Amino acid sequence: MASRRCLAALRLRLRPLLLSSHHTQNPLPLTFTSSSAAASSRFTTSDPFSSLRRHFSSSPPPTSDGSDDEEGEESEDEEDDWIDEGDNAGSKRFVQSGKTEEEKRKEAEEIGYRVLGRLDPSSENPFKPYEPVFAVVEIGSHQFKVSNGDSIFTEKLKFCDVNEKIVLNKVLMLGSKTQTIIGRPILVDAAVHAVVEEHALDAKVIIFKKKRRKNYRRTKGHRQELTKLRIIDIQGIDKSEALAAAA
């Protein structure tokens, strides 16, 4: 409603000016006099719509010299500086929001593993002959009974990549044909070495919820992220007696 009133008032004000300019070939210029010559030359115009324009002291009309170009260049430089500062600030925020190597190491040890580094297939042979030794390890909240050469699927280990060597340091029990060692709760000197083979997704599980006589049905799917580990060595138990008993 207010916009219609504004348009009506503007139409009423502009109508006599448009009619006068249409009937007369040389319309009289609109001149605003001022005490100074510079001000009179600035505001003297022959445009019939000049009475509706405003000139503010903070943004004077453009001049013919090159001062505007210099100001434009300065403003562009200021914008570039501001963008650079923003990028630096964003990178700093990203670094602060991420975890440091020490925090990653502590979190991995709480889960039950430690990353050693990349596996070099040219100089290392991860596949060793079978040894009649087993170990019970804890990864996260799950326990696994493993032997040399076994492959297991665990919940995704966040801070390790494919073909990296890791050590499972939460060993609960070691055993062979001749002896059994039980930890209280873990064995400090025992370790199980493994290699990360792949990160995969488990089969889809369908979650269906229903409430009878309430028109309530919900269906969702979930695929658990998994990490496949290959056990390459078990340390902390005497293997000579086990090999002799196996022979």
Q: pLDDT tens track of the chain, all 247 residues?
A: 667 888 888 888 777 777 665 555 555 554 444 444 444 444 444 555 555 555 444 455 555 555 555 555 555 554 444 444 444 444 443 334 478 989 999 999 999 999 999 988 787 777 788 889 999 999 999 999 999 999 999 999 989 999 999 999 999 999 998 899 999 999 999 999 999 999 999 999 999 999 999 999 999 999 999 999 999 999 998 877 655 655 5
Residues listed for the chain: 247
The pLDDT score that the predictor gives to residue 15 is: 78
H-helix or E-strand spanning residue 183: none
Q: How many CA atoms lie within 13 A of 120 on its CB side?
A: 5
Contact 196, 163 (CB under 8 A): yes
- Give the span between the Cα atoms of 147 and 230, in whole angstroms: 10
Structure tokens at 11: 């139409």
The pLDDT score that the predictor gives to residue 1 is: 62
The pLDDT score that the predictor gives to residue 66 is: 53
Structure tokens at 42: 């600035």
Q: How many Å separate Cα 181 from the centre of its chain?
A: 45
The pLDDT score that the predictor gives to residue 109 is: 92
Beta strands in the chain (DSSP E): 113-118, 134-139, 142-147, 151-155, 164-168, 171-175, 180-182, 191-201, 205-211, 216-222, 225-235
The pLDDT score that the predictor gives to residue 6 is: 80
Distances (CA, A) of 219 to 23, 206, 215: 76, 7, 13
Q: From 105, 213, 202, select the one nearest 159 (Cα to Cα).
A: 105
Residue 176 identity: S
Contact 149, 125 (CB under 8 A): no
Distances (CA, A) of 222 to 86, 156, 166, 203: 39, 15, 28, 8
Q: From 171, 184, 181, select the one nearest 233 (Cα to Cα).
A: 171
